[in-house]
Copies of this chain bind each other. A is one copy, B any other.
Amino acid sequence: MKALFFDSFLQIKDIPVPEITSGDVLIRVKWAGICNTDIEITKGYIPNYNGIPGHEFYGLIHEAQDKTLIGKRVTAEINAGCNNCEWCNKGLSRHCPNRTVLGIINQDGAFAEFIKVPLDTLIFIPDSIVDTNAIFIEPLAAALEIIEQITIQKEHKVLLIGDGKLAQLIALVIHYTGCDLTVLGKHTDKLSLLTKQNIKTVHLDSFTPSLYDIIIEASGSSQALMNAISHVKPRGTVVLKSTYTDTSVFNPSAIVVNEITLIGSRCGRFESAINFLQKTQIDLSYLISEKHPFTNIIEAFRSSQKKGVLKVIVEMF
């Protein structure tokens, strides 16, 4: 099969179709989305990375021991735990120290014709969820993780820093809580997408600092993290939603004096994303900037890093 392989550089390779055991299924990938983590992998975020990236996808089951599964439209939880540790026992396999992570840690990802996933990570996509929403299940789950970690109330004044791919989804999720949300960004075109969703936005150039109950940092800038600490109310919460390639320098005294809570937030449960899509009936297709055939995937990677581009989809067949 054809697969995108990263090993210090990106290349399309022809490799054998993965063999499945009774614990796995083989999925024929239909669409795969390019995420910032994929871009970071190509920039060396994970030292000695060697494999097929890609963790946002959906496809059709192609091979499984249970033949009734064949043809079903599915995606898969990206973290697969050992099922035998403190974390797996708590239902938190996404924190299992021995976990594999699809396309990221010790498991080949979705930028290939076929992908093998453990049966217990399989997520069936209800018919009511259209393809242009299905492709967002993974990042939407990550956005929803925030409201599983902290309680956002209607009276909360919330600032979201960032207007990129993930921030757009976070904005939708936070907006649905009914709180007083403002999104701070620096891309007029991306902010205008939020305005169309009736979400209050402010451009960095005209931002007048104020104090917020909750600040969500999703811009990936460590400078933004420092600003978040300065603009959150005493006893307020700063949610860190980006991973950072650079280090932060700050005086932790502000966190102590104002008793601020800083909380990191990563992957979420896919089930929550499916519920959200069904409950809100939202149409996320406006977040798809480009769709490329698989043969064009290296160009798609390049394109997804261009200014103004949001989600880039690779269509495998």
Interfacial residues, chain A to chain B (CB-CB below 8 A): 87, 92, 95, 97, 149, 222, 225, 234-235, 240-266
Determine chain A's interface SS by DSSP, over half rule.
Answer: mixed
| Distance A24 CA – B253 CA, assembled complex (angstroms) | 31
| Distance A242 CA – B265 CA, assembled complex (angstroms) | 25
* CB-defined contacts of A245 to chain B, threshold 8 Å: 253
* CB-defined contacts of A257 to chain B, threshold 8 Å: 243, 264, 266
Partner of A251, one of B92, B149, B248, B265: B248
Question: What are the nearest 8 A-B pairs in CB distance?
Answer: A95-B234, A255-B264, A256-B264, A262-B262, A243-B253, A261-B263, A247-B251, A259-B264
Closest chain-B Cβ to A106's Cβ sits at a distance in Å of 15
- 12 inter-chain pairs at a CB distance below 8 angstroms, sorted by A residue, are A87-B234, A92-B235, A95-B258, A240-B255, A244-B256, A248-B248, A248-B252, A254-B264, A256-B265, A258-B264, A258-B266, A261-B261
CB atoms of B253 and A244 under 8 A apart? yes
Decide yes or no: A95 and B259 within 8 Å by CB, A87-B234, A234-B87 being known contacts: yes
Which of A97, A250, A259 has the most chain B CB atoms inside 10 A of its CB? Answer: A259
Closest residue of chain B to A234 (Cβ to Cβ) is B95
CB atoms of B249 and A259 under 8 A apart? no
